[in-house]
């Protein structure tokens, strides 16, 4: 899918899954991909990455990832979200 954007990568699959579950609960389609790396250099053969499937969802996904409280405040101030 061309519109997909990388949100973040991490060494911890648990961290990726936690954020993925948040995004899915918010109705944001995303997927986990494994980025291959040199095992001799990094000690692992890949790092998990979380990709957002639709460009319009990327902004909301980045807010959820960086600050869930900020998103709640933003929605509370938006009269159309009520």
Per-residue pLDDT tens digits for 1-56: 468 999 998 888 888 898 899 899 999 999 999 987 766 665 667 889 999 998 88
Collapsed DSSP state (helix, strand, coil) of residue 29? coil
Looking at residue 18, its pLDDT comes to 85
* Domains, the chain, ordered by start: 5-74 (3.30.70)
Q: 50 burial class (0-12, 13-18, 19+ CB within 10 angstroms)?
A: buried
Per-residue pLDDT tens over the stretch 41-58: 656 678 899 999 988 899
What pTM does this model have? Answer: 0.70
CB 17 within 8 A of CB 30: no
């Amino acid at each position: 899918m061309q519109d997909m954007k990388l949100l973040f990568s991490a060494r911890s699959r648990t961290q990726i899954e936690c954020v993925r579950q948040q995004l899915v609960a918010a109705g944001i389609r995303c997927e986990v991909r494994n980025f291959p790396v040199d095992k001799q250099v990094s000690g692992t053969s890949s790092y998990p990455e979380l990709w957002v499937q639709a460009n319009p969802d990327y902004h909301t996904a980045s807010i959820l990832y960086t600050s869930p409280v900020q998103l709640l405040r933003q929605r509370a101030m938006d009269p159309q979200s009520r």
